[in-house]
Amino acid sequence: MSNSGKGLYLDKLIDNILNTKLEYIPSASVDHAKNRLFDVIGCMICGANDCGNPALLELIRDWGGKPEARIFVHGGKVPAPMAALMNCVMARSFDYEPVSPLVEGKSIPGHISGTTTMTAMTIGDMQKVSGKELLTAMLVGDDMATRVLLAGEAGGTRRGLDHVGQANSFGATAITGRLMGLNHEQFSDAFGLVVDHLGGIQKQISDTAVGFKLSQGNAARDAIFSVNLAKAGWSGIDDALLAQGGYYDIFTEGIKDPELLIKNLGKQYYSDGTFKPYPNCRMNHSAVDCAVDIVNEHGVSGDDIDKVIMYVSPGAMHDIIGAPFRIKNSPHASAGFSIQYSVANVLVRGSSKPEHYTEEAIRDTAISDFITSKITMVELTQGGMESGRVKVIMKDGQEYDVFTEIARGDPRRPVSKEDLLAKFRGNIEFSNTVSVENGEKILKMVGDLENLDSTQKLVDLLIA
């Protein structure tokens, strides 16, 4: 093991990033990575023209610069940090990509894949790396970000901060550094530099601002910048993670146990474990599940409903999720982070799809009138933070009452591969940018990614 003398745990993490080979990684983790990759690609295509994204695209193109890396869907080359920023923001736009890193069967809060997969694709395209190397870099980056989250007290960040802008930065640095050929010392410096760029606040979500998705891209942008600085000879702080004034000291409530950073290192490669079946905040999903089950099993129509009682966990009730629905700074964020909107949408429209989270659909008075006249919120006394219960009382007196402890998509209640493929194809259809034919080619290419000679061939299919 190489040892820079700067940070023993960081040294071991860097050695793993540098020395991992795809053959070392369990096949189940590799298969899961492929599923996450095509799922995020679909979500990115879905979000290509979401609110704020055309303006961001125009800014990036106006700024110009060295034509290094491609912007997906829209095309054109810009400096790599800005291409990755744009690609990651598009991926997060419908809040639809994989979440919740899985460690030894337990999910922890996280939103990693929207950053790591798009960073790997952006740099992989620029560096013309093989599919095998793309997969390997992605997996070590996911693992790095998850371990950083896992070891932190209080969910990995101080209150009010958003882990997306912090743990993801370490994961994206791992990916970029590996694909750009950093050595051990340069890696230590890159991590020591990216600490200077960590950010992201939960207030973007609670104020339902377009900015809720920005941290997803900032993490990639700043990681690529820091890797390039390190490669150019810049030094960073000695121990990015454990030093006084480093990550755990400044951005978290402390570290639970530094051994968590390296437990089963090189044997287990951790990553997001939950696939989202609905394009809204994960905390909405159990209640949405209840509404979907009621609609599918009983064929209810919104017009025939007299009253809806939604039972929501105390944590969600006192969060923006459980607040009365109203459109604030961004219609999309207002709806996506509202459990009232997300459930009413299913009961009125019969399903939960990306087209239901466009501004036109969100401003449809049929939904707001339904919420105002028919929905009552009650605190849930069973289950956990993400559990939900929905009781629908029909005008004819019939009642349907469904409780969901664990929403679909969780590893304990997984969605099928067929469901993921249908989701991908639905995103392609909704976006109407990348062709259906190219969508099928993407699925085939990702399925055999370890035999792909150049990531550029995959990205070629992503340009509308």
Which residues sit opposite 26 in a β-bridge? none
Summarised one tens digit per residue, pLDDT across range 311-343 is 999 999 999 999 999 999 999 999 999 999 999
pLDDT value at residue 3: 43
Question: With 90 as the cut, is the pLDDT of residue 72 above it?
Answer: yes
Q: Largest Cα–Cα distance of the chain, in whole Å? A: 74
pLDDT value at residue 2: 41
**In whole angstroms, how far apart are CA 259 and each of 24, 101, 256?**
21, 18, 9
pLDDT value at residue 158: 86
Count the neighbouring beta carbons within 10 Å of the beta carbon of residue 185.
14
**Closest by alpha carbon to 45, among 152, 137, 117, 110?**
117
Summarised one tens digit per residue, pLDDT across range 263-315 is 999 999 999 999 999 999 999 999 999 999 999 999 999 999 999 999 999 99
Distance between CA atoms of residues 250 and 381, nearest Å: 36
Summarised one tens digit per residue, pLDDT across range 253-269 is 999 999 999 999 999 99
CB of 171 closer than 8 Å to CB of 13: no
Question: With 70 as the cut, is the pLDDT of residue 1 above it?
Answer: no
Distance between CA atoms of residues 435 and 423, nearest Å: 15
pLDDT value at residue 379: 96
Summarised one tens digit per residue, pLDDT across range 210-252 is 999 999 999 999 999 999 999 999 999 999 999 999 999 999 9
Distance between CA atoms of residues 239 and 233, nearest Å: 17
pLDDT value at residue 406: 96
| Domains of the chain with bracketed CATH | 8-277+412-460 (1.10.4100.10), 282-404 (3.30.1330.120)
Summarised one tens digit per residue, pLDDT across range 370-397 is 999 999 999 999 999 899 999 999 999 9
- Percent of the chain topping pLDDT 70: 98
Helix pair angle (80-92, 53-63), 10° resolution: 180
Which residues sit opposite 376 in a β-bridge? 309
pLDDT value at residue 4: 47
What's the token pair of residue 74?
A: 């829209």
Residue labelled with tokens 């966990």: 313
Strands (E), 90-218: 99-103, 106-107
Summarised one tens digit per residue, pLDDT across range 3-30 is 445 689 999 999 999 999 999 999 999 9
Q: What is the mean pLDDT of the chain?
A: 96
Summarised one tens digit per residue, pLDDT across range 124-165 is 999 999 999 999 999 999 999 999 999 998 767 888 999 999
State if pTM tops 0.95.
Answer: yes
